[in-house]
């Protein structure tokens, strides 16, 4: 059910601010040919910038080669920096142009987006992109991929480069000696923080059932984890229980649990991973429909370290532990 040809370009109106910005950059260059080049490059970048911002990519023209007047003077650069992804070359082309030739200075970009600027400088049309382009030889513009592919391509790189936010390593040995960082709360305090809806708390005994603690050699601490906007402001609680192994006192049994706020389920496909020092995933638990807790337990030897990673879609957080 296509109402339009999705391979047709996406048109961006070049508003006054864009045109003035381009003119401003061009005004630094006295040679007419250079000034025109900078003007067109800047317009192309403005159009790409608007489109990518709409698509919720972070852009940073200020850190691009093309933002620097000296670099503009020396090279024909038209890049737009996408933090966490790389520099995307945003190449202006003239209406009807079939072949383009890219200069050597735009080698090693993350991709090449081609933008047609109309003769009145009122509209820019994002035509399409390629991941790689032969430098300094004629390139046929009919070979471009459409913009949806650009979104998928940039999104893939964005995810690949996204590093989980690392927190300081927590030494569980110290927990056994009762030296516990204040951000790791006692169970009752943790429970209070997790469940802000007291009415629901009274009705549900589920959480209490899970965390009733009879053993004294067992240490149990919790913290509230924040996966950012993607969780729709629902809270998650991480609860870590440790205990000396019954057979070998040197080893420690660890139980990691992720609880939902009472009255809510965990978001479906929320993923808990236990990762070792070699960055290999050792254990994993994934929330299904209507789960309100996921957990994994394992045994650690002294000197070992592991990472607990919680992921939902592209959002990730990690807690690092050592024994």
Find the binding residues for another protein in span 225-264 (CB under 8 A).
229-230
Q: Are 154 and 40 in contact (CB under 8 A)?
A: no
**Which is nearest to 194 in space by CA: 294, 286, 185, 285?**
185
Closest listed residue to residue 95, CA positions, set 127, 120, 128, 117: 117
Is 268 among the residues that bind another protein (CB under 8 A)?
no
Binding flag, residue 134, another protein (CB under 8 A):
no
Q: Alpha-carbon distance 263 to 204, whole Å?
A: 8
- Whole-angstrom CA distances from 186 to 152, 196, 258, 318 are 44, 16, 15, 20
135, 151, 211, 283: which one binds another protein (CB under 8 A): 151
Is residue 160 a contact point for another protein (CB under 8 A)? no
Q: Looking only at residues 45 through 64 of this chain, which bind another protein when binding is defined by CB under 8 A?
A: 50, 53-56
Are 299 and 253 a contacting pair, CB within 8 Å?
yes
In angstroms, the CA 41 to CA 72 distance is 10
Rule CB under 8 A: choose which of 75, 135, 141, 155 binds another protein. 155
13 touches another protein by CB under 8 A = yes
Give the nearest distance from C-beta 257 to another protein in angstroms: 24
Stretch touching another protein by CB under 8 A, among 19-27, 71-79, 105-113, 301-309: 19-27
From candidates 11, 295, 299, 322, binder to another protein by CB under 8 A: 11
**29 forms part of the interface with another protein (CB under 8 A):** no
Asked if 65 interacts with another protein (CB under 8 A), we say no
Instruction: Name the β-bridge partners of 267.
Output: none
Residues 6+ apart with CB under 8 A from 24: none
Nearer residue to another protein within complex by CB, 17 or 163: 17
> Least distance (Å) from another protein to the CB of residue 61?
11
Count of alpha carbons within 13 angstroms of residue 296, beta-carbon side: 20
* End-to-end CA gap in the chain: 58
Strand 169-171 versus strand 219-225 pairing type: unpaired
Please, which residues bridge with residue 220 across strands?
Answer: 241
With CB under 8 A as the contact rule, the residue among 148, 192, 213, 277 that binds another protein is 148
Q: Does 271 bind another protein (CB under 8 A)?
A: no
* Complex with another protein: residue 100 or 286, whichever CB lies closer: 286
Asked if 3 interacts with another protein (CB under 8 A), we say: yes
- In the complex, the residues that contact another protein under the rule CB under 8 A are 1, 3-4, 6, 8, 10-11, 13, 15-17, 20-21, 23-24, 50, 53-56, 147-148, 151-152, 155, 158, 229-230, 312-315
């Amino acid at each position: 059910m296509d109402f339009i040809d999705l391979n047709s370009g996406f048109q961006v109106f070049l508003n006054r601010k864009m045109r003035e910005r381009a003119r401003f950059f061009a005004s630094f260059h006295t040679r007419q040919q250079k000034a025109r080049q900078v003007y067109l490059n800047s317009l192309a970048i403005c159009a790409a910038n608007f489109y990518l911002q709409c698509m919720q990519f972070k852009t940073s023209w200020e850190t691009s080669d093309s933002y620097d007047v000296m670099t503009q003077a020396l090279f024909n650069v038209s890049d737009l920096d996408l933090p966490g992804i790389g520099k995307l070359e945003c190449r202006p082309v003239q209406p009807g142009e079939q072949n383009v030739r890219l200069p050597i200075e735009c080698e090693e970009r993350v991709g090449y987006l081609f933008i047609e600027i109309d003769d009145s400088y009122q509209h820019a049309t994002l035509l399409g992109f390629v991941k790689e382009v032969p430098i300094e030889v004629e390139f046929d513009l009919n070979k471009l991929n459409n913009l949806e592919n650009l979104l998928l391509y940039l999104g893939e790189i964005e995810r690949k480069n996204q590093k989980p936010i690392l927190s300081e390593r927590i030494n569980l040995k110290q927990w056994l000696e009762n030296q516990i960082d204040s951000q790791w709360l006692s169970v009752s305090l943790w429970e209070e923080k997790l469940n802000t809806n007291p009415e629901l708390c009274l009705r549900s005994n589920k959480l209490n059932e899970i965390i009733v603690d009879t053993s004294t050699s067992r240490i149990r601490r919790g913290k509230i984890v924040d996966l950012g906007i993607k969780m729709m402001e629902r809270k998650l609680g991480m609860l870590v229980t440790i205990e000396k192994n019954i057979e070998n006192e040197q080893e420690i049994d660890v139980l990691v649990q992720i609880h939902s706020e009472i009255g809510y389920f965990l978001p479906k496909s929320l993923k808990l991973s236990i990762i070792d020092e070699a960055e290999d995933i050792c254990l994993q638990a994934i929330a299904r429909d209507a789960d309100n807790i996921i957990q994994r337990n394992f045994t650690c030897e002294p000197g070992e370290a592991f990472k607990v990673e919680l992921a939902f879609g592209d959002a990730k957080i990690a807690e690092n532990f050592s024994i």
